[in-house]
Chains A and B, each alone.
Chain A
């Protein structure tokens, strides 16, 4: 396949710019950083046009490069701060919601949705995207790596240099905060 013919870098920004940007923003949150990552990605793509084997579409190939660049961004953040759990981290929003016997004071509300079909509900997916922005930076990154990227726990611990027990606590708290945020949107009653 003649790769020169199948790649047209002049059209990348117009054709894929917004899609690459949205994908990055879900993970990185900061619009300026996301824009910068899209730019770095397209420059890297330009540099490595020869590596485009034509086995995948131009779009998939660009997304492949983008994923690496996003991970590089996470790594660069790790150098500047620690991802271990510390005392000033967000607490579990359900901490005080148990009686002295350790049972729920207000049991979890029933969500009128089957987990197997949840992903089909686009409104809910967008609600989660909004709720993610309410998490602290540390919790957001770790939740994104685990649940949005689907990275293995061992790999996150290695990448972010944190202890497994800390990872589990952070994820538990992040999930509880997101759960509470989704419930605040009241969608579970609208189904």
Chain B
């Protein structure tokens, strides 16, 4: 293969990377939170994020979502004080414990 053919191929590949759209980038942004992206996907996403404010906003929103979910998973997570076992439910459980003893 001639060197100039190689160069054309390289430029075409590079331009395909640079042409990632917001629609392509959204799933990649989400996937980075779930597994390591391949080299090609990772750089495609990075190139797009470098030029797209809207998608950077999307990254920040998914990070916020993750932080909120993580907090919700803690034992001392904020909860609606009205959310509690009903007196009947407490009685049922208490009875089950007594019967077991």
Which residues from chain A sit less than 8 Å from chain B, CB to CB? Answer: 9-10, 12-14, 17-19, 21-23, 25-26, 35, 38-39, 42-43, 46-47, 59-60, 63, 94, 98, 101-104, 107-111, 113, 115-116, 118-119, 121-122, 124-126, 128-129, 143, 146-150, 153, 164, 167-169, 171-172, 175-176, 178-179, 182
Contacts and interface: CB of A to CB of B under 8 A. Distances in A.
Given A35-B85, A125-B77, A172-B31, A150 B64 contact: no
Contacts of B93: 13, 17, 35, 38-39, 42
B22 interface: yes
B80 to A, nearest CB: 7
Contacts of B24: 102
Contact of B85 (A18, A102, A126, A175): A18
Contacts of B90: 13-14, 17
A78 to B, nearest CB: 19
Contact of A128 (B65, B79, B89, B96): B65
30 contacts: A10-B97, A18-B83, A21-B83, A22-B83, A23-B75, A26-B77, A38-B85, A39-B96, A42-B96, A43-B97, A43-B100, A94-B26, A98-B21, A101-B21, A102-B22, A103-B22, A103-B23, A107-B54, A108-B58, A118-B64, A125-B71, A128-B65, A128-B68, A147-B66, A147-B69, A168-B27, A168-B30, A168-B34, A175-B62, A175-B65
B22 A104 contact: yes
Interface of B: 21-24, 26-27, 30-31, 33-35, 53-54, 57-58, 60-73, 75, 77-80, 83-85, 89-90, 92-94, 96-97, 100-101
Contact of B35 (A38, A108, A168, A169): A168
Nearest to B89: A35
Contacts of B21: 98, 101-103
Chain B interface, >50% SS class: helix
Contacts, number: 155
Chain A interface, >50% SS class: helix
A182 B60 CA distance: 14
B64 A171 contact: no
Contact of B83 (A25, A178, A179): A25
Contacts of A23: 75, 77
A118 B67 contact: yes
Contacts of A150: 70, 73
The list of the 5 closest CB pairs from A to B, nearest first, reads A102-B21, A107-B54, A147-B69, A115-B63, A119-B71
